[in-house]
Every structure is written in structure tokens, then in C-alpha cells.
Amino acid sequence: MSPPAAGCCHVTGFKVENWKQNLRAIYQCFVWSGSAETRKAKAKSCICHMCGAHLNRLHSCLYCVFFGCFTKKHIHEHAKTKRHNLAIDLLYGGIYCFMCQDYIYDKDMEQIAKEEQRKAWKLQAFTPTVVSHYQCTMTVHFEEVQSEEGIGEKYSTWEPTKRELELLRHNPKRRKITTNCTIGLRGLINLGNTCFMNCIVQALTHTPLLRDFFLSDRHKCEMQSPSSCLVCEMSTLFQEFYSGHRSPHIPYRLLHLVWTHARHLAGYEQQDAHEFLIAALDVLHRHCKGDDNGKKANNPNHCNCIIDQIFTGGLQSDVTCQVCHGVSTTIDPFWDISLDLPGSSTPFWPLSPGSDGSVVNGESHVSGTTTLTDCLRRFTRPEHLGSSAKIKCSGCHSYQESTKQLTMKKLPIVACFHLKRFEHSAKLRRKITTYVSFPLELDMTPFMASSKESRMNGQYQQPTDSLNNDNKYSLFAVVNHQGTLESGHYTSFIRQHKDQWFKCDDAIITKASIKDVLDSEGYLLFYHKQFLEYE
């Protein structure tokens, strides 16, 4: 299927007289830099006009001579001030539209980029390579990349021949991803009270970055016995899910490995889906450490495996002394956020001012209804620790009363919220069935550590800057529990395409409406970041 001729309507403002010559000049001088002279010129001239840095994903404005950092948003400020909506990535050559807030495709621009890239390769007179270290650091030593063996993997653009195009047209097994395509959806046989495992597997296999990792065969097992590696089994599981087979899959090998590596989950009694999720992530994390990304971390206490890249966030805890107001800050990693609910023995924070029927964070409030935003507000509110929990203040050098506040220092790519519906205490063992309204789209900005100073009277003032989408998430999976604490059943809702949802009930998968999803009770909520930026 051919791509559209123009993927963005905002490029028409750039396509005026001599635009092709101007774009070619930018590619020749500032992007591909084929000759030694242009590489030296690029090293000298391509610095951010605001901070003077070579780093931070430098972009050039297509309308004027301006270089700005993408990571520090200096190019964003220029675009907003000058209304220059297009910029070019000086490392990869992609065109970014600040109106679309994404890298765009334009057939004419893409053709110019390819032609200039081929010219640069000929001038350099060496095999084109993806120079991974050079791309990551963007140092000024441009000529050092021309080693004979090259760095990284060999790269060349694949262009199908006429014969190959003909074969593709006549191949009846060719798969076309359409809006009603169900590839990736597959039921799972219940092996005896294993619905808790099946619903988590459905959520993980529909996590976009995790799917891309496994389907591109990125896992390199270094365990002595690959048959005992949970990551290898997950890789096989992804292949089974996306093979196109319609019959339910029997996850007996996965269950055996879970029993082997998380013995507290062994047996055929019903288990907690949240407990299984944390145990599965822990085992996957431990078995991923042999992968290349797991080894590359500079900090020996920090892992950069695919599990940590996707699911790990940073939770900031600020303890403030009530006497000298000194603040002690710690940051701890987390895979999920557990939220208290009204109806539990823990006193719940009052509902938000939006509970009169207005909309807050995309949630439609009905009078008396608790929302996910309410739960997050309660989670991040300052809490007085009381006289029975005094801490030794480093400023006062004595034990003092204090307040504690939790906020998000670093957000994960996938944010998992655990609604604490199962209460276990000395007096009570019960399930809390309080309905919690949760949105399709969630903005985590009010709960960030950087937003603490912006709060007024306990309420966050939403910024009007529409370009700030770094902390926005979209719902893609919901795990539900029906029944009581002693006897129940887990199901899940999975987003297959935009606004297309399916209910997964072990081996049975049925179409679901957005209303079905949002009206469900909700136990585990999975949100994926809407915008991802490369570091």
C-alpha cells in the first residue's frame, strides 16, 4: 500500500518559490554533510542559538536560520514565537511539525532527503552505517566515524523491485492491517483458576513497546538453560499471539515457569492479578539483565532492560520538618501506583471541586462519584505524620514532627494504577466495590514533583501551553474482578486500535464498546504515554 502523497497539511506554507533548492541546501550543509569541508562547517555552525550546545537533539528551523535544542524545547519556543511550524532534525533528517506535534511524511520532501543522502554516501566513499554511538552523543568529531569496519549495523534502504511488487500483489497470505483487523487478539485457555494470569498476559501482549521489542527479536538470552527463561517464553507467546491463529492458546509453559520462579504463586488456587503482574515484571526484569540494554547502564544499581525502560518510574518522597521546614527528599523506583478507595478503613480525601458535573482531566464527574484524579490527588497530598512518627531532622538535630508528600519525579512509559479493592486487616477481609470513574486520556502534570510549586490552595492550576504533552497518557487495558474476595473471576478489556476495544474472558474474546470499558469497576488500569521522545 503506497503512503499518502502528503501526511501534513502545514507543509504547503513552506512550499513556496525555490523551496526545493533551499531544502536541498539544508540537507547538504547541515544534515548529511557528505564532504569533509561540510562536516567541519556543520561542527562549527550547528549549535543551539539559545544555550550554545551541540547536544539535545538539535533542530533547524526551515523558515529562517535558527538552530535550537529539541530536548530543552528551545526550538519549540522559537516555533511558538515566530510561528515557524516546521523544523528539521539535524541528526536523522526528519521533518517535525509543531502544529501536528509529530514528525511528518511528505512525498516530495522524502524524495529530496533520499537523493541528498545517496549523494553524501558517494562523497564519503564508504559503506553507509548507522553510527549508534555518534548518534547518541552527537560530538563534534565527525570524521572519526569513517572507520573501515564501521560502527553499528549495516543499513541500506530497501526498495522493492518490479518482480517483488508483483509477488506481493499475488501473495494470498499477505496481511493488511486495517481498522477491523483482529491480528494480535487470541484467547487463553484457563488451566484451573488461572484467569488472574490470563488477564495480565493480555495486557502485556498489547503493550505497544513490549510488542515491538519481542516481534523484532531483540531478546538475546544468556541464561545457561533458555528453557527456564521467562523472557524467551514471552517472546514465543508474542509470536503465538501475532501468528494469526484463531484457536485459543494454552499457556502451560508460561504457568510452569511462573510456578518455578515465583513459588508463592504456585498451585491451582485463585491468585491476585496485581500480585501476579508485579511477580511477572520482577522475573522478566531479572531474566532481561543479560540483554545488551541491561548491560549498558552506567550505574550498577540501575538496569536499562526493556521492562525498566517501559514500566519503571521515579516516586519522590519529601519529608518536611514542621519546626525548621527543612526538606529531606528520596526518590524510589516503582512499577505501579496503588491507590486507596473510598469505603476503605483509611480516611479518604474529599472529592474534587469538579464533582458538581464539570470535567476535570477528561473525566465526566457525576455528583458523588469518585474519579481516578481524586485518588491521585489523595495519593500526592501532604500528610501529617503525627507525634507518634517523629523523624530526626538533619537541621534541628532532634526528633520533630513532619509532613510527607509523594509526587512523580519521573513518569514511566506505561503507567499502571492499582485500585486497592481488596482490604486485609486484623479486623476486616473484604472487597471494596466503590465505582471509580477513569478517563480514556489522563494528564499526569498536576502530580509531578515539578508541579508542586504551581499548586495553589491544594489545587493545581492547569497551564494553557498546548505544546506541553509530555505527561499525557491514553488508556489501553483494564483488568476487572467480578465476585467476592473468596470467589471471583478476572477479565480484561484491551484496546486493539484507536477506539476499538475487546473483552478478553479467558478463551472467549468479544467486541466491547467504550462505554462498556468506562462503566466497568476497574482493578488495574494501564495507560501508555501519548508522546515518546528519544534521549
| Residues annotated as catalytic (active site), given as ranges | 195, 489
- One-letter amino acid of 280: A
Give the position of cell 568529531. Answer: 141
Region for residue 526 given its phi and psi (left: phi exceeds 0; alpha: psi -120 to 50; beta: otherwise): beta
Cell representation of residue 177 = 492491517
Selection from 407, 387, 378, 382 nearest residue 323 by Cα? 387
What's the CA gap between 472 and 311, in Å, rounded? 15
What gap in Å lies between CA 66 and CA 88, rounded to an integer? 11
SS3 58: strand
Q: Cβ distance 127 to 155 under 8 Å? A: no
* Interatomic CA distance for residues 233 and 253, integer angstroms: 8
Rounded (10°) angle between helices 273-288 and 195-205: 50
Judged on CB neighbours under 10 Å (0-12, 13-18, 19+), 143 is exposed
Q: Which residue has the cell 477491523?
A: 180
Question: What percent of the chain is helix, strand and coil (3-state, nearest 5)?
Answer: 35, 25, 45
Q: In this structure, which amino acid lies at residue 443?
A: D
Exposure class string for 197-222: b at 16+ Cβ within 10 A, else e:
bbbbbbbbbbbebbbebbeeeebebe
Residues 268/193, Cβ–Cβ less than 8 Å: yes
State the Cα angle at 478 between 241 and 264, rounded to 5°.
Answer: 75
Alpha-carbon dihedral 279, 280, 285, 288, rounded to 10 degrees? 150
Q: What is the largest CA-CA distance in the chain?
A: 81
- Mapping DSSP onto H, E and C, the string for 108-165 reads HHHHHHHHHHHHHHHHHCCCCECCHHHHHHCCCCHHHHCCCCCCCCECCCCCCCHHHH
| Cα 86 to Cα 429: distance, rounded to the nearest angstrom | 58
**Distance of alpha carbon 251 from alpha carbon 506, whole angstroms:** 11
CB neighbourhood size of 178 (10 A):
10
